[in-house]
Every structure is written in C-alpha cells, then in structure tokens.
Amino acid sequence: MIIGGAEDKLRKRTILKDFVAASGGADARIAVIPTASSLGPEVVEVYDALFRRLGAADVVAVRPESREEAGDPELVARLESATGIFMTGGNQLKLSALVCGTPLADAILDAHERGVVVAGTSAGASIQSSHMVAFGGPGSTPKQRMTQVAAGLGLLDSTVIDQHFDQRNRYGRLLMIVAQSPQLLGIGVDEDTAAIVDHVDDHEILSVVGRGAVTVFDPSRIVTNAYEARRSSALLASGVVLHILPEARAST
C-alpha cells in the first residue's frame, strides 16, 4: 500500500481501515516503523491508537536510529509475527540510509514475500520502489539536476515513487527521473490516496483508493535530451505515456 501522505485519520479513515482489514482485521499484528519521522514516541502513539481503534489486535514499534540498530536481532524479530508493516512519513533519505541493506530491510522483504501487507505513507511510500526520490524542488517542467535519486527497498521493481504528488507539484521532478532512466516506471501518489499493488499469479495489479489520483509515467518510448542537457536546463521528454488513475467506484 503506497500512500501519498496526509491520509485521513479523523473521519472515514478509509485507507487506514483498508490496511488493518488487509492485515487481518481483529487478528492484525502491526509493526510500525517510524524511523523517517523527526517526532518522538508520539508518532507511534498516534498510529497505535488508530490501528487499535480500527480493530487491530496488537501494535509494536520497530524504530532503529542507526544501521547498527537495524541489525539488532531482537528488533528484527518483531517483524516475524507481524501481519502488517506500516512505515510512517518524514525524511525518506534518513529511512533509506538507516534501513536499506540491513537485516531489518531483509526482514521487510521476507515478510512481503510471505504475504505480509507492507504499507507506507509519504516517506514510507517512496522507499517501497527500487529507486527513490531523495529530495528535490517542485515544478511542472522537468529540469536537469532537479532532484536526486537513492536506493529504495525494491518492493516494486523498476519503479520510482513520489508522494504528495499533485499537492506539491512534483510532476517535473518525476519526469526528470524517468527521462534520465527510461527503464523506470514513474508513480506519483496524491495525498489521502493509496496505490494498492496486489500480486496475482505472476502479475502485479494496481488499484487506487482515496480522494486523489495516482499518476503513472510510462517512458518506455521516450525521446529525450537528458543525456546531453546542461546544468538546470529544461529537459525534452516527448512520447511519455501518461495515466491518471482515480479511485474506481462501483456504479449503482
């Protein structure tokens, strides 16, 4: 579950309800990973209260603050019984720097392989792709050096995910990345919106829930000058296939 940030926590709480239900409902055992957040214990307390109110049986915190802690067997073991993993928002580069390539990252990937629901909001969304936006400014026009990319967890192969997408005008920076790396599928997720990826047989099927939309850039046939553009000049990005995917509501 790739959540674009600012998910509704007060009213319908649709996305969080769906996460708890997918994690087992009344039998859900949820591990919250708040490493990206600059907040203290209160960020875990908020999600602990929310998930328990939505019916989860148990909520535990898994918060490494260094790569050494991300290798702590006791901390890693907390994921063994989890039916759902939730990564909070904050600084995705911090999350990547402390978690990726550690035993905790391996445990997240192993949990994903055995069917545990992995969700993340904002920073916790970005890190789910193979490539991750580290930081960068807003704007609709892709420009050279507009953003930088770091490694993600790779739950979704050959993708790059951005969040708060429409609200913070992040079209340009995602286009810059796919122009430079046309093998990547660009996925932008709006606030209070989730891209839900289900593994069915050998396929990955994406559905959308929430108030906004998921924007997909398919650059497989792109024509671009990204390999020769200088400094901060605008990039040519022609032939990118654009998909805007809102929630699909059943008609009555």
199 is catalytic: no
66 is catalytic: no
User: How would you classify residue 79: left for phi > 0, otherwise alpha for psi between -120 and 50, otherwise beta?
Assistant: alpha
Phi and psi angles of residue 139, each rounded to the nearest 5 degrees, phi first:
135, 150
Rounded Cα distance, 215 and 162, in Å: 10
Catalytic residue among 37, 96, 122, 126: 122
Angle of the 42-53 helix axis to the 14-22 helix axis, nearest 10: 70
Catalytic residue among 23, 96, 130, 191: 191
CB burial class (10 A; 0-12, 13-18, 19+) of residue 196?
Answer: buried
Catalytic residue among 37, 96, 126, 164: 164
37-42 CB contacts, 8 Å cutoff, 24+ apart = 37/88, 37/89, 37/90, 38/90, 38/91, 39/90
Rounded Cα distance, 248 and 252, in Å: 13
Rounded Cα distance, 37 and 190, in Å: 20
> What is the radius of gyration, based on Cα positions, of the chain?
18
207 is catalytic: no
**Measured CA distances, 107 to 24, 149, 151, 153 (Å):** 19, 23, 17, 11
List, by residue number, the catalytic residues. Answer: 122, 164, 191
